Amino acid sequence: MRNRADCKIGKADWNLKVEPVLIESVPVCQWGFNQSGRFVYVSGNARMFGPQPEELLLQHVSTIDDSGGSWAARLDRIFSGTAPYDTAGPTAEQANVILHVPIHATNGMVAYAAGFSFSGGDRVPAVRELELAALAILHVLHTERVRTERFLHDVVAQCLSSTGLQLELLRLEIEDHQMEIPCRTVEIQKALAEALHRIRTFSTGQDAETA
């Protein structure tokens, strides 16, 4: 069962608490890790990580960690539930302030570690304000995922299933006429089956949990 963060945000909370903070202190970069230590979102200037934001999605923290494992250690502190937040920098090697806050699921467990990077001279918002900003992002991601899952299941999967059925009927018709079945037909059926499997895996959320 998936542990989802409670992404319900009141309109008043968003308008009064989050928007002014983001206007005054815009993060250089913000990101989120799931319990498996993989990126679930990255936005802003990701130069500190190396790869582009889209290249980091679902990548493990080890891909951006240093030799001392400081990034993995930060996530361990957050997901252990013992730290209300974790902050690092600025240092000689890292000019920005790096801050992680826990995002709790409805069962009280830490579901995500939300990360923020601020320039050394900028005011760092309060932890609660950062939590609300992260929850807003997670809410959007969840909404878009639900819409994508519904489209894949109701439209794409049905089209692929219909195509696979038509191929099977064609194969049976060819056999009835005692004709040789093209090898390409079998390859197409295998490709369709694999595509359907991937869609069903995505729709059940297994890709995000096991990635």
Taking alpha carbons only, the member of 124, 69, 68 closest to residue 101 is 124
Same domain, residue pair 35 and 69: yes
Residue 125 in domain: yes
- Angle at CA 74, nearest 5°, toward 72 and 78? 115
Q: Say which DSSP state 110 is in.
A: E
Asked which of 110, 128, 144 is the last residue of a domain, the reply is 144
The H-or-E segment that residue 192 falls in is helix 183-203
Q: Tally DSSP H helices, then E strands, for the chain.
A: 8, 5
Same domain, residue pair 33 and 122: yes
- pLDDT range class, residue 143, cuts 50, 70, 90: confident
Handedness of CA 81, 33, 45, 68 (dihedral sign): positive
Place of tokens 């936005």: 43
Same domain, residue pair 153 and 132: no
- Angle at CA 153, nearest 5°, toward 151 and 154? 65
Domain that holds residue 82: 11-144
Q: 125: domain CATH number? A: 3.30.450.20
Same domain, residue pair 83 and 170: no
- pLDDT range class, residue 38, cuts 50, 70, 90: very high
Same domain, residue pair 67 and 164: no
Same domain, residue pair 164 and 135: no
Residue 95 in domain: yes
Same domain, residue pair 129 and 185: no
Is it the case that residue 181 has pLDDT exceeding 70?
no
- Give the C-alpha distances (Å, rounded to integers) separating 203 from 143, 161, 165: 13, 16, 21
Same domain, residue pair 79 and 53: yes
Mean pLDDT over the full length of the chain: 78
- pLDDT range class, residue 24, cuts 50, 70, 90: low
Is it the case that residue 66 has pLDDT exceeding 60?
yes
Residue 208 in domain: no
Same domain, residue pair 66 and 159: no
Q: Say which DSSP state 120 is in.
A: T
Residue 140 in domain: yes
Same domain, residue pair 181 and 136: no
Domains identified in the chain, total number: 2
